[in-house]
Structure formats: C-alpha cells, structure tokens
Amino acid sequence: MTDARVPSRRRYLVCDPGHFDVRYAINPWMRPGRPVDLALAQRQWRTLVDVYRAHGHTVDSVKPVPGLPDMVFAANAAVVVGGRVLGSLFLAPERRPESVPYESWFKAEGFDVHRPESVCEGEGDLVPAGRWILAGTGFRTTRGAHAEAQEFFGVPVIGLTLVDPYFYHLDTALFALDEENIAYYPEAFSPGSREVLARLYPDAVTATREDAVAFGLNSVSDGRHVFVSPGATALAARLAERGYVPVPVDLSEFHKAGGGIKCCTQEIRS
C-alpha cells in the first residue's frame, strides 16, 4: 500500500526563531517566565527545514523581527490558494504586528495580498483540503473570516467549531493528509462539527487525546510523507497502516508556546 502514496513537491514559507520566547499567555500552553532554550529551538527548527529540503520541497524564509516572539509560527500569517493570498488579522494585540512583515514578503514575491476585515489567523484556522477549505472557529478566527475566504478564493468553506481551549486553532486538531483525506482528533470539535467531518471523511485517520496533546495533529503531509511529532506514536502507527510514511521531527521547544511543525510552516499553493 505504501507505494501507492505519491508525494507532491511543496513550497513552504518559514521564519527563523531567532526572537522566539514566551512573553505572554494567549493559549493554555503558554506560561510566561517558563524558560525557553533558544539554542535548542533553533536546532529543532533547522532540522525541520533540512528535512523538508531532503524530501524535495522548496523552503523560503521571512526575516524575523525583534519584539515579535511568535513570528516563527508562519502558518498563522496567511493562507495561500491558487496563488492568491489572504492575510491575517490576529485576535491578540501582541501578534497583530506580525502581519506586516509577512505581507511585505508576499508582495516582494509578486503576490497580491488581501487584508481580511474579520479576525483571521491564516492556516491556523483555514486548512485547504482538496475541494474545499476547512475552517475553524470558536477561539480565534471568526465566521466572518470564513465568509471572506469563500468570497476571496471562490472555494467552498466548511465551518467547524472548536470546543477545547488546548486546541485553539484548527491546525492543532486536524491536518490534510492529501486531496481526499484528513487526520483529526474528534473530541476537539462540537458534536455537529464531528458529524460533518464523519460525513465528509468516513475514512479519516482519527487520533487520541494523547496524540493530540503531543501535537500530532499539528503535522504537515506531502501526500506520502507525514512530518509528525515523535510523541504521537499511536497516530504514526495508524498513518503507516494506511500507507503513509511518518517522518518524526521534534519541535518540542515550540510546544511551550502552543505550536509545532505545522504552526512553523506556511504552504504556498500556486
């Protein structure tokens, strides 16, 4: 079965964690004053970049800005579909300045950037998944942003309600495996949203809470290789059974801020 899975080359955007720190608390994972090992964070981040490139993917980088410790979480800055960029409008005032350097990078690369009017946290809550965009709400991105995304991209947007504050962004509870399937943690969603996901993805890979708190759902897939937290062992086994190839990458230092592999990775879909 493994040979049937075909990877596709991706273009990723990342941001060096040179200013990474936990200076405020905007999710349950964050504890200001808890030491951050910046040297370890940089080694883990470089390993992620090296692994992407070793698997044939292109990696671009945005220059970090002093005073923006969460800028390393590139996925939150925008969502890109068909070469069109929907930027971000963060809920937390501490993160709102991050939108500017990312917007500047995209414009320098020749992209037009649409600024959302509603709170919108990029791929944190807007997950392109084949025929539609899965869109989270409940803690950060608003339903108004879901409507903006649908109008801007012309792609059906499926709204999903998150109910567990530890999974405050959709990308902490769900990721796209390929154009047809996903992996997710059902209990992170409202009953109605769980039913929607079950109808849309009857063959989805479901994860346990242990997988989820290990940031196993904050993963990146190229259709064959799944770059996943090494702590999500049960999930990795289930993925392997389905013919995917788990590629463990440890970003544990970033868990202190509530982030992981996907949070650090913006995909540029041209």
Q: For every one of its 270 residues, what pLDDT tens digit does the chain have, with 9 covering 90 and above?
A: 445 899 999 999 999 999 999 999 999 999 998 999 999 999 999 999 999 999 999 999 999 999 999 999 999 999 999 999 999 999 999 999 999 999 999 999 999 999 999 999 999 999 999 999 999 999 999 999 999 999 999 999 999 999 999 999 999 999 999 999 999 999 999 999 999 999 999 999 999 999 999 999 999 999 999 999 999 999 999 999 999 999 999 999 999 999 999 999 999 998
Which pLDDT does position 211 carry in this prediction? 98
In sequence order, what are the residues at sequence separation of 6 or more whose Cβ sits closer than 8 angstroms to the Cβ of residue 208? 185, 234, 235
Which pLDDT does position 95 carry in this prediction? 98
Which pLDDT does position 56 carry in this prediction? 98
CATH number (domain holding residue 167): 3.75.10.10
The angle at the Cα of 205, spanning 136 to 70, to the nearest 5 degrees, equals: 40
Q: Are the C-beta atoms of 10 and 262 separated by less than 8 Å?
A: no
Let me know if residue 91 belongs to a domain.
Answer: yes
Domain span holding position 259: 11-268
Residue 105 β-bridge partners? none
Let me know if residue 59 belongs to a domain.
Answer: yes
pTM over 0.85: yes
In the chain, what is the straight-line distance between the N-terminal and C-terminal CA atoms, in Å?
29
Let me know if residue 79 belongs to a domain.
Answer: yes
Let me know if residue 3 belongs to a domain.
Answer: no
Let me know if residue 6 belongs to a domain.
Answer: no
Let me know if residue 5 belongs to a domain.
Answer: no
Let me know if residue 218 belongs to a domain.
Answer: yes
Let me know if residue 18 belongs to a domain.
Answer: yes
In sequence order, what are the residues at sequence separation of 6 or more whose Cβ sits closer than 8 angstroms to the Cβ of residue 46? none
Q: Are the C-beta atoms of 226 and 219 separated by less than 8 Å?
A: yes
Positions annotated as catalytic residues are 169, 263
Domain count across the chain: 1
Q: Sheet holding 205-206: strands in order across?
A: 174-176, 182-184, 205-206
Buried b (16+ CB within 10 A) or exposed e, 21-43: bbeebbbebbeeeeebeeeebbe
